[in-house]
Structure 1
Amino acid sequence: MYENSSSLSWRPLAVEDAKAAADLLNAMETVDGIGDYYTEEDTLQELVDPYAELERASLAAFDGDVMVGYMKANYQPGAEEVHQVYLDGGVHPAYRRRGIGTALLTAGVAAAKELHERYHPALKLVVDAKRGEHIPGVAELFRAHGFTPARYFQHLEHPLGDAVPGAAIPGGLRVEPWSEQNDDDFRTVRNESFQDHWGTAPMPVDSWRSNVTNHTFQPAVSFLLREVATGVPVGMLVTKSWEADTAATGIRDANFFIMRTLREHRSRGEARALVGHALRAAAAQGYSRASVRVDSASAAGAVGVYEEAGFTLKMRLVRWALEV
């Protein structure tokens, strides 16, 4: 069934696989170099995602007790018109070119179709996966399964230190740090601002808590922009940081995970002010670097905002898509 892999065992992922999954992802990172190291807690967080049905929509390959490859599909709970199912996964560098990736991707597409039929059968299905542009064999694998490049994402970095720009907050607005009291305002801005953003759907509370304000969330470097007169939240920036990355590289990175402003508040300097404010906060709190991954075709012009703030391009990632 799988070329040169008859000795492997195959089964769905389970929450007990968190350490094995972290070990696999870290082995991949040493070769692929996309800047993502994992702890067991990190992978456990992904395995307990409320929209990842492991028994129905995941598969892992094991050589003895060692996980050598996996795939996991996540569906969108609040899809409208188009339902995008996201595939995550990979193969251990020592086990590549054996047909494992082909088997996992085939299983991933089948799982995406099953999730789609279960939750959004009336909508159009698009199966998505994001991978580093530079990783050998990835383009050939996805093209062989009918995927095409749908979007490119830029990984940008900022050195902090003396390079942090000044950016005054526009008049009539104020910046607030994240708190339990304004947490839902952050989520509201995210959902409302992403209505015209490619490949997104409203994020419910359970998904927000699982994927955003989890153990990697950095509340002291996450800020809300609010109108003083009306009290309406109009922008937000959420920062995350991964202990595994710091341990592996010695660099404490402030990742600007989400930064959005409402459509009617774009091109007024709000986004630049938020980014500048967060950069100064990160530098003051001892972070070594800031980073962000941005859609190259962002309708909000996010790439330009970050470049003006001093971020530079380090890597590109491809969003592969299969329309079913």
Structure 2
Amino acid sequence: MMINELLPRGFTARPSSMEDLEAVTRLINTCEIAVDGESETSLDEVCTAWQMPDFHFETDTRVVFSPEGECVGAVDVGHRQYARAHMFGNVHPNYQGRGIGTYLLHVAEQRSQQFIPHAAPDARVSLGTGVSSKDQATQRLLEDNGFQPVRHFWRMGIDLDGTTPAAQWAEGLTLQTMAPGTERTLFEVDEETFRDHWGHIPSTFEEWERWMVKRESFDPSLYFLAMDGNQIAGFAFCHNEKELGGWVNVLGVRRAWRRKGIGLALLYHAFAEFYRRGVQSVYLGVDAQSLTGATRLYERAGMHVVKDNIRYEKELRAGRELSTQSVEV
């Protein structure tokens, strides 16, 4: 059977384009609200993902339309070093159970298979995706197609009321925000720190720059650096997503400076700054089984789990795992 035959009669599919940005974002938000009661994906986030280096609409996306021309399904596919492929797909709640999800899944797997010749010859190649723990229909679809749950990731949040404790800094540490021209230094520190996180595969500076700096919500005054002299000890890169709240997109402390309270101080400082700017809620994403104990830090800061996502994976080729799986303590 050809993949296109999986679509219901009268439904059509084509690669996405930037003209579909608003329609696809609305679709994603509709699906999020149906499953979890609120949306969390911004137009800026989707736009940034579609502008990543090595992303191609023609090969890496599909959008599905109903006979009436409504956007009812969409998927996009990316990769890290061609070995760790990932997909992000959605089907409108009113159109589920008609084979659209199966179609999008097959499109994503077919595209991911094309990455295999470009991966390191001995590398394990897999396709992964995240799904809300409440979305049992998608979990069944994935499992019926050979995917297995491998990890849980939490969205944690806190509602701010102005009572956040003041940040306490270890002796000799100072706080500053991102200065112009320091992008590559911050990228290198970010990469160094996140080698200790499960599933990490090194990215390129161009990928990091697009995701962290070249986006509408980028604000260097929300990129906080804990400095020990002229060395970066820890960092919190935050974005104000307006109606979606404040986000601590990346929080890290370098190995030599861990267990000095820097992560907690950075969080408290970020909370206070968001509150000063009128932001009522702050969120972040974290590996529920964090190798560095990040979940305990966030709970100590007053955050709680607001959403549980399950990462599913399907092995496309056996081999050497390139991503971080454990950390020497």
Pairwise same-fold verdict (TM > 0.5): yes
Aligned position for 2:234: 235
Q: Is the 8 A contact 2:162 2:275 kept in 1?
A: no
SS at 1:30 equivalent: helix
Structure 2 Cα separation of the partners of residues 119 and 199 of structure 1: 16
Aligned position for 1:313: 305
SS at 1:256 equivalent: strand
Q: 1:28 aligns with which of 6, 28, 31?
A: 31
Q: 2:70 aligns with which of 66, 69, 82?
A: 66
1:176 aligns with 2:168: no
Structure 1 portions without partners, runs of 5+: 247-251
Aligned position for 2:80: 76
1:284 aligns with 2:279: no
Structure 2 portions without partners, runs of 5+: 317-329
SS at 2:23 equivalent: helix
Residues 5-33 of structure 1, C-alpha deviation per residue, up to 9 Å, x if partnerless?
Answer: 11111122222221221222232233123
Q: 1:44 aligns with which of 39, 43, 47?
A: 47
Structure 2 Cα separation of the partners of residues 225 and 185 of structure 1: 14
Residues 44-71 of structure 1, C-alpha deviation per residue, up to 9 Å, x if partnerless?
Answer: 3222221323222222211243221111
Structure 1 Cα separation of the partners of residues 116 and 239 of structure 2: 30
Structure 2 Cα separation of the partners of residues 308 and 191 of structure 1: 25
Q: Is the 8 A contact 2:131 2:139 kept in 1?
A: no
SS at 1:75 equivalent: strand
Q: Is the 8 A contact 1:191 1:201 kept in 2?
A: no
Aligned position for 1:322: 314
Structure 2 Cα separation of the partners of residues 93 and 132 of structure 1: 14
TM-score normalized with structure 2 length: 0.88
Q: Is the 8 A contact 1:239 1:255 kept in 2?
A: yes
Aligned position for 2:327: none
Q: Is the 8 A contact 1:129 1:320 kept in 2?
A: yes
Aligned position for 1:144: 144
Q: Is the 8 A contact 1:185 1:233 kept in 2?
A: no
Aligned position for 1:201: 201
Structure 2 Cα separation of the partners of residues 315 and 286 of structure 1: 24
TM-score normalized with structure 1 length: 0.89
Which stretch shifts more, 99-108 or 180-189? 180-189
Structure 1 Cα separation of the partners of residues 39 and 298 of structure 2: 19
SS at 2:278 equivalent: coil
1:42 deviation in Å?
4.1
Aligned position for 1:271: 263
Structure 2 Cα separation of the partners of residues 175 and 182 of structure 1: 15
| Number of equivalenced pairs | 310
Q: Is the 8 A contact 2:238 2:248 kept in 1?
A: yes
1:96 deviation in Å?
0.5
Q: Is the 8 A contact 1:22 1:38 kept in 2?
A: yes
% identical aligned pairs: 23
Aligned position for 1:249: none
